[in-house]
Amino acid sequence: MKTVEKSYVTELYSHPYLLSNLSVPQLVEKILARKEGKLSATGAVQAETGAYTGRSPKDKFIVKDEISENYVDWGTVNRSIDEATFNKLYQKVVQYLKNKSEIFQFRGYAGADHDYRLPLQVINEYAWHNLFARQLFITPKEKELKEHQPEFTVLSAPTFKANPKVDGTNSEAFILVSFKQRIVLIGGTEYAGEIKKSIFSVMNYLLPQRNVLSMHCSANVGKEGDVALFFGLSGTGKTTLSADPYRRLIGDDEHGWGPNGVFNIEGGCYAKCINLSQEKEPQIYDAIRFGAVLENVVLDNQTRIPDYNDTILTENTRAAYPLENIDNIAVPSIAGHPSTIIFLTADASGTLPPISKLTKEQAMYHFLSGYTSKLAGTERGVTEPQATFSACFGSPFLPLAPSKYAAMLGEKIDAYQSNVFLVNTGWTGGAYGTGKRMKLSYTRAMIHAALEGELHGVETTKDKIFGLEIPMHVPGVPDEVLIPENTWLDKAAYEQTAKQLAVKFHENFKQFTEAREDIANAGPIYKG
């Protein structure tokens, strides 16, 4: 890949206080001195983001130019903005950063596999965002830093507010990506997640061109080198379930799958902290220490102890920490081809089975469908679980048509004979409101059974509405939990709710007119 860097950003290189690749302690000192955040009793720094506490998908645009025009899947996810509008804002943001007394630069990589890594730089107005970038992306070794040539740049100026009438944005906040100029512009929002997810979108554009499948999934590897992937939209359990004392963590959110196997795109994790406890999630709890960043987590005024149950700032409280803060990790974050693939869904209707084994056709059907619920907080305006179909379990981050990623996944599942399971980490015993969230310990037990091959050849029953094969027994899980109908008191309500969901699946799948017939027919049995 060649650097196609246009002028404006280079103007920042002569800024007298462009503080480049500061160490973690130096950044922590800056954060405290600049009063951007507080020191928590855990050793992690804490920052608050004001109005924007989640991603802002309506404010995200891709520049339409001769490169992207015929390649990007334009629509409500990939909104277009023209080159002239982008360039004006690009120049303004650079000017704005130039006028700051100091700015922070991180130079590093996305992609643990050296064959596919993207050298990038992030230039931040805030020191705490720079620490976030340092912990989430891959930090270069000293020698690598000397030779480092950025091929993509993120400019983040959260206190720069756009004027939609003048600047052509949707609001004061904007996340703009130019694949031609290899620039991401972020303004108006302080939510740190935009920094990592915008580069994920970039990787979802670049990697498939090199025949590497990019995936919104977590990954870990067992003692025998057996790799597992956990796909899922936000809040479904990628981060929680991949942190497993018996398996080495590869990564919690973004991966590539190429000819050599799976590799992490990132160098750190970004965990949801709401109701976090040491008892239920010890790996994540203990990872929150010096070097970590707590985002919108409330601290006690005096003791500075985090209160993970406090939702006053947002439901979407977060901790960002480097992979090394987790005890059991794969170094480097690379492994072989996955033997097991788990699709996580947080089904708020409470009707999908907690675990089912998918045929290859069902796997493709459910990957394209990407059914789950948007959970409160991760996106602006979502305050309770909202049923959604998010193709490939990550449509907000996919610049290309979902069918491109799905075709690649299908080929890989065939080539490596990966087993695919659908796991509902959402509601049981009723829909959201009457039922409750699946117990984490049960989900962990089901996943362990799947990963250790304990579900091969076990007695199953076919779900009458969804056509999914449900194991009748899973060690550590009461039998009645496995069959959704058995967990509902009101059987008529169950049936009605399940049928409604089945119909939604069929409605949604109509858009995939090009899908192979056997895949299109692998959806729910109930057709309405």
Ligand X SMILES: C=C(OP(=O)(O)O)C(=O)O
Ligand Y SMILES: Nc1ncnc2c1ncn2[C@@H]1O[C@H](COP(=O)(O)OP(=O)(O)O)[C@@H](O)[C@H]1O
Q: Which residues are annotated as a binding site for substrate?
A: 55, 191, 197, 318
Residues 132/44, Cβ–Cβ less than 8 Å:
no
Q: What's the closest the beta carbon of residue 238 comes to Mn ion, in angstroms? A: 5
Count residues binding Mn ion (CB under 5 A): 3
Task: Report, as residue numbers or ranges, the catalytic residues.
Answer: 55, 197, 216, 234, 238-239, 253, 318
Q: State the residue number with the nearest CB to ligand Y.
A: 237
Phi (first) and psi of residue 53, to 5 degrees:
-110, 10
Q: SS3 for 5-67, per residue?
A: CCHHHHHHHHCCCEEECCCHHHHHHHHHHCCCCEECCCCCEEECCCCCCCECHHHEEEEECCC
- HSE (CB half, 13 Å, CA atoms) of 189? 24
30 vs 55, which CB is nearer to ligand X? 55
441 vs 496, which CB is nearer to ligand Y? 441
Of 9-17, 123-131, 269-277, 477-485, the segment contacting ligand Y by CB under 6 A is 269-277
Structural tokens at position 169: 């944005």
Task: Select from ligand X, Mn ion, ligand Y, none the partner in contact with residue 134, using the beta carbon and a kind-dependent cut-off of 5 to 8 Å.
Answer: none
Nearest to 105, CA basis, from 70, 64, 62, 156: 156
Task: Select from Mn ion, ligand X, ligand Y, none the partner in contact with residue 437, using the beta carbon and a kind-dependent cut-off of 5 to 8 Å.
Answer: ligand Y
Radius of gyration of the chain (CA): 23
Structural tokens at position 50: 């004001």
Q: How far is residue 103's CA from residue 273's CA, in Å, rounded to a whole number?
A: 29
111 vs 237, which CB is nearer to Mn ion? 237
Task: Select from ligand X, ligand Y, Mn ion, none the partner in contact with residue 443, using the beta carbon and a kind-dependent cut-off of 5 to 8 Å.
Answer: ligand Y
- HSE (CB half, 13 Å, CA atoms) of 203? 33
Q: How far is residue 118's CA from residue 128's CA, in Å, rounded to a whole number?
A: 23
Task: Select from ligand Y, Mn ion, ligand X, none the partner in contact with residue 425, using the beta carbon and a kind-dependent cut-off of 5 to 8 Å.
Answer: ligand Y
Is residue 220 within a helix (H) or strand (E), and if so which, with residue range? strand 217-221
374 touches Mn ion (CB under 5 A): no
471 touches ligand Y (CB under 6 A): no
Residues 337/418, Cβ–Cβ less than 8 Å:
yes
239 touches Mn ion (CB under 5 A): yes
274 touches ligand Y (CB under 6 A): yes
Instruction: Please pick, from the candidates 238, 357, 374, 380, the single residue that binds Mn ion as defined by CB under 5 A.
Output: 238
Q: What's the closest the beta carbon of residue 451 comes to ligand Y, in angstroms? A: 15
Window 179-238: residues binding ligand Y (CB under 6 A): 232, 234-238
Nearest to 1, CA basis, from 123, 116, 154, 137: 116
Structural tokens at position 249: 């963590």
Structural tokens at position 300: 């006690």
182 touches Mn ion (CB under 5 A): no
Instruction: Please pick, from the candidates 436, 437, 499, 516, the single residue that binds ligand Y as defined by CB under 6 A.
Output: 437
Of 152-160, 247-255, 463-471, 500-508, the segment contacting Mn ion by CB under 5 A is 247-255
Window 396-435: residues binding ligand Y (CB under 6 A): 425
Residues that bind ligand Y (CB under 6 A): 232, 234-241, 271-272, 274, 425, 437-438, 440, 443
